[in-house]
Structures are given as C-alpha cells and as structure tokens.
C-alpha cells in the first residue's frame, strides 16, 4: 500500500500551521513503521526550505482559484497504481482540492479526507451563505466521493451529519507521542505564568476571551503573568486589547518560536490556556501536556473529554469569560501540590491516548 498525503504547503513542522505539523508527524511515523508514504504539497513557490525527512516530498504549483492543475501533478497521478495507492487530503473548503479530487477519481484512484476541524458547526457559520453555495457546487462532490471522512473531534462528526447525512465519517485522534520529555520547570520566585502557544488568530483562538479573563484575575492576583508565544494576523488586535486592558508589561508577546526555544518557554509555564471557539484537535495543547503542563481548555477544543478523563486540567464552557477566570483562580490556589498532580496526569494523558503506535493501527484500518 502507498499513502500519499496532499496538503496546502510543504508539511514544514517549523511553521505556525497546525495541519502541516500534523501531516509531517503522521508521514514520519508511517515511514518509520515501514509504510510507503509520500507528501505532495500545493505551494506558491517550489523552494525546498525545510529539513531532511524520511519520506518523499513532491511540490506542485498552486493553481489560482479554479485554474487548471499543475501538469506535473497530473503526470504524477498517471504513474500511481490504482490498486495500491490511496490519497489522503488534508483540509476543507480548499478550491484546489476539488480539482485534485476530480483528477484523482478520473485516474481511477481513491482518496480519504481529513477536514482538520473545517466541518464543525462554528467553522460552518463563518461565511455561512458563501459556504452553502460552495458546498452544493464543489465540497459536496469532494465529500461524497471520498472513501472515508476522517474527523479528529466529536464536534466535527456531529456537524457532518447535518450537512451530509449518512456520510462515512471516522473519528481518530492524532498521534502526539513526544517520547521522553523534560518536565515543566517553572521559575522559582517569579510570577505564576499562564501561557498560550499558537497562531495569533484573535477570534478563533479566543484570545480576546483569554485577555479579558486574565485582566480580571490579575486585579486580585498581580503576581501573575501571561505569555503568548506565536504570531499571526491577529497580533495587532491582541496588542490593542492588551493596551486597552492596562496589561502592558504583564502580558509578554514572545513572537513565533520553534524547536528548543519554544520548548524552553513551554516548560516554564505553570498552566497552559487554550480557550478556542473552534478547533479540530489543537496540537499545542497536547504538546504542552506532554511536558506536564496542566491545561485550561474550552469544550470547543475537542480535547476536553481527555482532560476530564485524566484530570489533566480544567475544562470550561465555550466563550465564558467568568468560568475561564474562575479556572485560573482555581489553578492558582492549587499551586504547587495540586498542580503537580495535574502535571503528572497531563503527561500520562498524552502517552495513553495519543500513542502513535495505537493511532497508526486505526489509520491503517481507515485506508483499508
């Protein structure tokens, strides 16, 4: 069996793009398991600006809107064996994927698709009427002709039943096995640190909710700090909110960090925050948990069930600033001994629920 992952981008793990990171990890683990795997990426330029990897990567120029696909992509399709090749498309509402799916079907090949949270209820509400029209014209074909629709969260499974009843959806979490990780090591004598790592998407990631809740908590507990690690289009809105709330100096914007720099910052956090309004399965939460950092998350993150089950943090209702602030207060009152227990539970949660060995078996069943 040959698995070909199709992404927008280059599956570069050193980018603020969760889908690319996940595809990189999945392909890496599949290759390690002896599976014949490649990653094909649609990109605006073909420069190889990523590190060595154990799988083949093929890059093709992204078509403009609904222009014809790259001829190199079509020629590459012709060389695949329909009996042994399965394509895995990553992402929803992506115009080039409609064209790609048609070309894949025309070549007699099969594909599965992962929406990465694109089909859950909140995501569907964004540009609602445009998506309704687009769905009937394009996305419906994409989903109906997929051998299976892979979902990473229960919210997406439920939403798909609304827009496409009797679909072939399968719920499988990502693998997030980080091996032996150095545990969190918060600074002694410094402020208690709440932290966030990810793309600075002001609305979707709930950064406005986070800042409001932290501002209220900070008034009663000034020996605290909020670290935001990441960058994105919402940075200006974040800065404006920080200034409006009078938090300049108490909220630190670290910018985008990768590798050891990011890990070092994560390890210094006492509690990780992720009050997102809409997610597939946020890898940043699981990465923090793998370091033993307790997490405060919303139900919308799709990790709430795991956090509750393992007592690895606190789950709050979506878009509830008061409950988010209460969770911060609760974690602060548990410091240090109660948080130490949560820390151990967080690391065990990742090792138990997101082992790549377990997840790869489920993906093999999906492809079959």
Query: pLDDT tens, 4-34?
Result: 999 999 999 887 778 898 899 999 999 999 9
Q: Where are the domains of the chain?
A: 2-171, 192-353
Please give the sequence-ordered ranges of beta strands (E in DSSP) within 51-198, or none if there are none. 56-61, 85-90, 110-114, 149-151, 169-171, 192-197
pLDDT attached to residue 206 = 97
- How far, in Å, CA of 2 to CA of 88, rounded? 11
Q: pLDDT tens for residues 127-169?
A: 888 888 999 999 999 999 999 999 988 888 888 998 898 888 9
Residues 302 and 280 sit within 8 Å (Cβ to Cβ): yes
Q: Match domain 2-171 to its CATH number in 3.40.50.1700, 3.40.50.2000, 3.30.70.20, 3.40.50.300.
A: 3.40.50.2000
Q: What is the reported pLDDT for 185?
A: 75
Read off the DSSP letter of residue 49. -
- Would the CATH topology of 2-171 be identical to that of 192-353? yes
Q: How far is CA 118 from CA 30, 84, 240, in A?
A: 24, 28, 28
Q: Which two tokens stand for residue 26?
A: 């999945």
Which CATH superfamily groups domain 192-353? Glycogen Phosphorylase B; (3.40.50.2000)
Backbone phi, then psi, for 339, in 5-degree steps?
Answer: -70, -30
The pLDDT of residue 128: 82
The pLDDT value given to residue 27 = 97
| pLDDT value of position 187 | 67
Beta-carbon contacts of residue 103 (< 8 Å; ≥ 6 apart):
69, 73, 74, 77
Write down the pLDDT at residue 112.
98
pTM comes to: 0.75
Write out the two tokens for 303: 């990790």
Strands, sheet with 36-43, edge to edge from the N-terminal-most edge strand:
56-61, 36-43, 2-8, 85-90, 110-114, 149-151, 169-171
* Contact between 267 and 288 (Cβ < 8 Å): no
Give the pLDDT of residue 186.
Answer: 74
| pLDDT at residue 71, as a whole number | 93
Q: What is the pLDDT of residue 199?
A: 93
CA 184 – CA 335 distance, rounded (Å): 14
The list of the chain residues with pLDDT below 70 reads: 65-67, 177-182, 187-188
Look at residue 184 in the predicted model and tell me its pLDDT: 73
| Cα 66 to Cα 59, 72, 99, 115, distances in angstroms | 18, 17, 7, 20
DSSP 299: G
Phi-psi label, residue 268: left if phi above 0, alpha if psi -120 to 50, beta otherwise:
alpha
């Amino acid at each position: 069996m040959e698995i070909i992952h199709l992404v927008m981008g280059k599956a570069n793990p050193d980018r603020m793009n969760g889908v690319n990171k996940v595809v990189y990890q999945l392909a890496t683990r599949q290759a390690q398991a002896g599976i014949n795997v490649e990653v094909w990426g649609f990109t605006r330029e073909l420069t190889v600006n990523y590190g060595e990897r154990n799988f083949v990567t093929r890059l093709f120029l992204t078509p403009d809107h609904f222009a014809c696909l790259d001829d190199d992509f079509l020629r590459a399709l012709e060389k695949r064996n329909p009996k042994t090749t399965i394509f895995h498309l990553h992402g929803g509402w992506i115009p080039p994927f409609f064209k790609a799916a048609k070309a894949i079907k025309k070549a007699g090949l099969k594909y599965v698709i992962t929406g990465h949270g694109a089909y859950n209820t909140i995501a569907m509400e964004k540009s609602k009427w445009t998506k309704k029209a687009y769905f009937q014209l394009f996305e419906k074909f994409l989903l109906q002709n997929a051998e299976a629709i892979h979902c990473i969260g229960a919210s997406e499974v439920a939403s798909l039943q609304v827009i496409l009843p009797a679909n072939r959806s399968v719920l499988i979490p990502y693998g997030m096995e980080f091996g032996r990780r150095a545990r969190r090591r918060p600074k002694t004598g410094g402020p208690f640190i709440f932290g966030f790592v990810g793309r600075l998407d002001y609305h979707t990631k709930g950064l406005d909710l986070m800042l409001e809740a932290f501002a209220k908590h900070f008034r009663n507990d000034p020996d605290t700090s909020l670290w935001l690690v990441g960058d994105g289009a919402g940075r200006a809105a974040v800065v404006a909110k920080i200034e409006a709330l009078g938090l300049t100096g108490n909220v630190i914007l670290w910018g985008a960090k990768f590798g050891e720099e990011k890990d070092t910052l994560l390890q210094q956090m006492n509690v990780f925050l992720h009050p997102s309004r809409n997610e597939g399965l946020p890898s940043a939460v699981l990465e923090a948990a793998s370091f033993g950092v307790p997490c405060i998350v919303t139900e919308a993150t799709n990790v709430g069930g795991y956090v509750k089950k393992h007592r690895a943090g606190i789950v709050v209702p979506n878009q509830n600033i008061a409950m988010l602030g209460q969770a911060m207060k609760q974690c602060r009152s548990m410091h240090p001994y109660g948080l130490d227990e949560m820390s151990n539970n967080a690391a065990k949660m990742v090792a138990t629920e997101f082992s790549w060995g377990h997840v790869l078996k489920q993906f093999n069943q999906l492809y079959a």
